[in-house]
Each structure stands twice: as structure tokens, then as C-alpha cells.
Chains A and B, each alone.
Chain A
Amino acid sequence: MSDIIRPYGDTTGDGMVQLSFTLPVPHGKRAEGAALQLAGKMGIDPAMVVHSKPLGPKFTFFVVYGRVQHLVDLREVQVPERDYPLLTPKEVNAVIRRRLRRKLVVVGACIGTDAHTVGIDAILNIKGYAGEKGLEYYREMRVVNLGAQVAVPDLVERARAERADAVLASQVVTQRDAHLHNVREMAAAFREAFPASRRPLLVVGGPRFDESMAAELGVDRIFGRGTTPTEVASYLAHAITTKRGSVPEGAGV
């Protein structure tokens, strides 16, 4: 198979794509011309407007088919690597049962002044996110969601009281790098409060984190935008079966 490919409509190499979009232009010939111009600039040539429909007086919806001129070089495709397998809830539960012989305790919170529980709720709440159930759904996990605006000392205290295996901290607000500051503070506090062998896994999530910054911030894992509960659950199952991830002592703290 060649490494250089094009979209496939009904013949190899035909490059055919379908596309739909709305332009803020009243319906008519001029709108169709605008749609063709856009398609052309996107590399679709020739392009056909197969459908256009007014959406109110100011907008037009288009369906466009056409041949895209661009080539894809498979050798240049890079995908971020995930170093653990994705498991179903059933599999995660089985791993926990086998390895821990008790429930995995997860304590979650939005730390600092952050009141946005959207992230932590998406991961923990049974309603979940993106069609996946949150960690509360997992029978072998005991989830304690502390909600918003939890102070770091309270989080440490609660993690100790609940004998947490993992602590999930969410940060949405990033004004003046508050999220980075809060995470460093949390990592330092846990390092101080627990001997290295007993410290719960520290997992941080939020839309503005760079997933490669875990070591720098002193935590075990960072999850960025679009993370689903399954990924977090799979990671936790993976983390308890392998040795504790190596976080350089004192790094970035």
C-alpha cells in the first residue's frame, strides 16, 4: 500500500469528499458562489454545491461534494501515545478486584478558588461525559467528590481520612496561571503529608494543561481537554498494577 493517499469515493484516487457548512449570507446565487469559493480555497476542485437552503433571512446552509487536491502522507502522521490500554468498565473492575481485593478509593475536587466542577463531574459523576459513565459507575471504585473550591489542606486531610488510592484534582480557571500554581501547591502538600510509598496517585485534569508537564508539576498524570472517564479509569487500573510512576523527587516543587 502506498504511503501517499487521497480520500476514496468510489474509485481509488478520486479524492472525493462531502462537506456541509453554513455561511452568513442570504440564500441565492451569490451565496452559492461564496460556497464554491470557500471550497476552492479548501483545496476542493472541482466543487459542486449539491444543496443549499436558507436558514432564516441571513444564513445559507450548503452541502458540497468535490475532489480534494491534497495528498496525505502516512509516514508523517503522528499520534500521541497512550502508555496504557483502554479498558471497559467491566475490565477495570476486574483489575481492581484482582489487584486490590477491595474497592479503589478515589477522592476528587476542584482545588483553590475554582468553582467549575464541569471537569471533575464529567469524570466522576455517574452521568459521565461523551456517552461514557463517570467513575461513580464503577462498582469497584468508591468515589468521594468534594466538589468545588476545596482548599489543598482539606483535600490532603480528606484523602488521608478516606485512605485514598488516587486523588483527582480539576482546574478550569487559568487566570494568572492559577491552575499551575494550585497543582504545584497540591503536589508539595501531598509529598509533605505522606511517605512516598503511601502517597495516593495524584491525577490532574483541565482543558488548559499540557499533558507532558506531569513531572514538572510533581504529579503522576495530567489529562487535558476531551479526556473521557474511560481513559481515567483505565489509567488508574494501569497505575495500580504497575509500580508507582516515577516522579522525580522534588521536581518543580
Chain B
Amino acid sequence: MTGGLTLDPALVRRARQLADQAARPVIELARRHTTVSIERAVLRLAGVTGADPDGIPWVNRLVDAVRADVGLEHGVALPVFAALRAEGINDLTLLAQKAAAGSIHFQIPQGRSASVARRAAHRAVAAGLRRIDRRRAERERLIQRLGDPPRRPWIYLIVATGDIYEDIEQAQAAAREGADIIAVIRSTGQSLLDYVPEGATREGYAGTYATQENFRLMRAALDRVSRELGRYVRLTNYASGLCMPEMATLAGLERVDMMLNDSMYGILFRDINPIRTFTDQRFSRQIHARAGIIINTGEDNYLTTADAVEAAHTVTVSQLLNEVFAQEAGLADWQIGLGHAFEIDPELPDSFRLELAHALLARTLFPRYPLKWMPPTRHMTGDIFRGYLLNGFFNLAGLLTGQSILLVGMMTEAVITPWLSDRDLALQNVRYVLNACGGLAEDFAPRPDGFIQRRANQVLAEAVALLERICDHGLLQAIAEGTFGIMKRPPDGGRGLDGVAVQADDYYNPATEILEQELAAEREERHE
């Protein structure tokens, strides 16, 4: 690992302290709210599956029915399990079907029937979490048997045909060509659907729908190719958009290995309500922590919308905030894949030195995290020859600064979805750089008081100044004022606000209860 960069330790401490201060009120806010998607995730853990003939999942129908009768603020677990008992059935999906037909009247149980419902809900959700635990153990066994990639960075490739069966072909081919991680890009617009589509899908727009069945099919296909290759090939999808908690849950149930999960991406780039996002995000990260899933945050997006030099410090601020949110939710260091990107205008003098400074800053601030290094997109012009060279420098910067996960850049970025040959050329590029100077990081120490050293400290100082401003007004206000990625997103605006409720005093969510209790116990153990 690179140790060449020296950061002012007082400044680093101050940055972390401010990030913590900025994030705390938002965490408190998330603790006080629930959302339709969190409640649906609870029902998924309790075993509700499938969809109605129109393709609307039964979890949606059930949550809507409960909400119409008693509101969302108590959580759906108690009314649902009370109704299950009152109906004398033990199949939640059947209950959802009856509820959708309007034949169930939901109530908040009181007294003894409340404690009975509570126990039943707890038992059902605990069983769901145990299924996630088994998938995690299965992953650990497979990695033990087949092994991790032989070196860092792990090589991350994207497939996105829209057809899961075509994706499988391409994913297996990519793994054979050297990919360690396969990401299946989602269909455009899925982040704005307030339900998770069902079943295997063969039609998508610039991507493939994320569904439980698609997760299962792709994971099974990668297991086959992992055995063939003798290394465990990881699968990535997205816990973002309006169904973040459910996506995390389904990923845990189907052993998806990494999930894109940024604390602010949905707010800034999809205009999803800030309270909805922060509340959903906290639950989804608790699930990811439990499932042993590595999260990838989305700082690269700031640089595609704002100037990568001027906005470099917003990346650092976002990384620091993502760190606080991730740690609070219980993610371990090895699960926190903070992002950053090679997006500086190549026409700028010293652009590569600036890239190295920014990449080293991230590496030095977060020495134990699996940082994700994202390739140029903004300055990929369609000139594939120039793009290929730029990707070579991107790969070099990644190696030189000890990045952990390298998203392979395509010379045809912004032109077409990558062809078979584009991927092959891109992997050749990576292999050449790895082969030629894979160990160069150990020789690379930026000169004390040199350009890189000065620039990294400058960006950190700017990050601290921005965090100070955020702390003055609060993070939600800062987002409303357009501090990140230029967009102004007020806390009472954006999509999905109608799916948010303030928790009542008797709110009950067995998943949160179990996850937080076990996390607290684990933390205590570590302190002893």
C-alpha cells in the first residue's frame, strides 16, 4: 500500500469530526422515520414473495392495504401478523392476496394480541435474516475454496444488454477474459419505480431490470464460471432509487456480492426526497452489513456534473459522510467501497498529477477501505483512439495509488454499449499496465512539498472548509442550497416523500430490532 502522502493529522481529525457532526442529525432523522420500501423489505424478509397478475408485487399490495387502514407510522409488522392470526392462516402471501381483494381489515393489536403478533413477526423476520446469513456463509465457503482474485485491484466489468440471458453469456465471457467483478447495470428509470419488478426479464432500456430472479440466475451462472476458473467472481447490482431497502434485502437473499449504495446519489441525481433517501439508505446499509455485501458509493457522479478540479473537495466530503453513515449502519471496513474517479479535463496542464494527488488523498484518508476507482466518462469524446490512451493513464493512476477496485474504462464510452471487442481491448489495456508496473506503487513516493503533496493537502483543507459550512446550516440545508453536484434539493421536495412516515411511539420493525441488537452486542464484544 502507498504510504507516500503526508496529510496534516490535525486536519484529518478535524475533517472526521465535522463529518460526524454533519451526519448525526441526519442519522437521528432516519431513525425516527420509516418508508414504504423499508416496510416492504420487512415483509420480504418475513417471506412474502411474488406479484399480482399486473406484476405489482404482493409486498406492495399488502403495505398499501395496511397503510390504508392504520397508516404506516406503526410499522406493518404488528398489523400484518395480528391479521394473519385473526384469519387463522400462516401464509403471508395468501394474506396479501386477500388484503388486495379488500377482505382484510387491519388493526393495531393491543395488549396480549400485540405481544403475540410481535413474537410471530420477530420469528418470521429472524428466519429471513438467517437465510441471508446462510448465503453469506456460502459466499465465504466458496471464496475459501475457489479463492479471491490473485491481486489488487479487482477488475470490475459492466454488462447491460437488457436481457438477463444475454447478460449471462456476456458476463461469463467477461469473467473468462479476466473480470473479477461483474456489474449488471439496471434499466434506465428503475430507480424511480416504487416497486421491484418480478421474474426473469428480457427487455430493458440501457440495462437490465434488477429482480430477485435475475439476481439468482446471474449468481448461479457466475458460480458455474467461478468453478471453471478457480476464482470467485463477484456480482454487483444497485441498492439505489426508491426501493433501496428491498434491493439490499433481495441482494442478501440471493448472494449478490457488491451493491452500489450512495448516501446522496438518489437525492442529487434522481430527485428523490432527501428524507426518503437517508431513511432508506440507513436500513439498506444495515442489511448490507449483515449480508457481507461490499457497498460502492457514487462520488464519481459529482465529477461528471461539476468540474473535477474545482469540485475535488466535494468528493472528499461525500466520502467522509458516506464513511460515517456506513460505520453507523454497522458496515465493516472491508465493506466500505468509497468511490472516486478520473474525470479531470485532459487538456488541463498537469491533469495527471492532479489525478494522482486526488487518488492518493482518498487512499491515504481511507487506508483500509476497498476504494473503487472509476474511469473517465466526461472527457470521452467518441475519439476512441484518444480514449484508449486516456484509459491507459487511468489504469496507471489506479495502480500507482493502490486503488482496490478498478472499473474498466471503455474506449467507446458515450458512443455505444460496449462490444465484445471493446471489452477485450479494455482488458488488454489493464493487463498491460498491471504487467508492466503492477508493483510501481512501492517505488512511488511524491516529493515532500511537491506538487502532489501540496494539492492533496489543499483539497483536504477545502473539504474541511466545506464541512464547516455544512455543519453551520445542517446537511439537509446544504443539500437544499445546492452544495453537492450543483442541484438544489429541498427536504420537502423530490420523489417518494409520500412514502415516508414519522414513526409512532409504538412503531415496531423486527428487522431493525434484530440488526441493531446484534450489532450493539458485537460492538460490545469488540470493546471487551
A→B interface (CB under 8 Å): 20-22, 53, 55-56, 59, 61, 115-118, 121, 125-128, 130-131, 133, 136-137, 145, 147-148, 172
Contacts and interface: CB of A to CB of B under 8 A. Distances in A.
A116 B495 contact: no
B271 A133 contact: no
Interface of B: 173, 176-177, 188-189, 192-193, 205-206, 268-271, 301, 304-305, 377-381, 414, 419-421, 424, 485-487, 495
A55 B193 contact: no
A61 B421 contact: yes
B487 A136 contact: yes
A42 to B, nearest CB: 17
A126 B381 contact: no
A131 B188 contact: no
Contacts of A125: 269-270
Contacts of B188: 116-118, 121
A127 B173 contact: no
Contacts of A116: 188-189, 205
A59 B419 CA distance: 12
A24 B228 CA distance: 23
B176 A126 contact: no
A20 B385 CA distance: 13
Nearest to A114: B189
Given A116-B205, A126-B486, A137-B305, A20 B421 contact: yes
Given A56-B173, A126-B269, A126-B485, A22 B205 contact: no
A118 B204 CA distance: 11
Contact of A118 (B205, B269, B485, B486): B205
Contact of A145 (B189, B205, B271): B271
A130 B419 CA distance: 18
A22 B381 CA distance: 23
A131 B188 CA distance: 17
Given A61-B420, A117-B188, A172-B205, 10 more contacts: A55-B177, A55-B424, A116-B205, A126-B305, A126-B487, A131-B377, A136-B486, A137-B486, A147-B192, A147-B495
The 9 closest A-B pairs by CB, nearest first: A118-B188, A61-B421, A117-B189, A22-B421, A126-B305, A55-B424, A131-B414, A118-B205, A126-B487
B383 to A, nearest CB: 12
A118 B187 CA distance: 9
Contacts of A115: 189, 193
A21 B495 CA distance: 44
Contacts of B305: 126-128, 133, 137
Contact of B420 (A55, A117, A126): A55
Nearest to A129: B414
Given A56-B173, A118-B189, A121-B189, A130 B414 contact: yes
A117 B191 CA distance: 10
A165 B377 CA distance: 32
Nearest to A139: B486
Contacts of A61: 420-421, 424
A74 B3 CA distance: 60
Nearest to B271: A145
Contact of B380 (A21, A126, A131, A133): A131
Contacts of B304: 127
B189 A148 contact: yes
B176 A56 contact: yes
Contacts of A56: 173, 176-177
A172 B206 CA distance: 13
Given A53-B424, A61-B421, A131-B381, A118 B206 contact: yes
A22 B420 contact: yes
30 contacts: A20-B421, A22-B421, A53-B424, A55-B173, A55-B177, A55-B421, A55-B424, A56-B173, A59-B420, A61-B424, A115-B193, A116-B188, A116-B189, A117-B189, A118-B205, A121-B188, A125-B270, A126-B305, A126-B487, A127-B269, A127-B304, A127-B305, A130-B414, A131-B378, A133-B305, A136-B487, A137-B486, A145-B271, A147-B192, A148-B192
Nearest to A61: B421
Given A61-B421, A61-B424, A127 B301 contact: yes
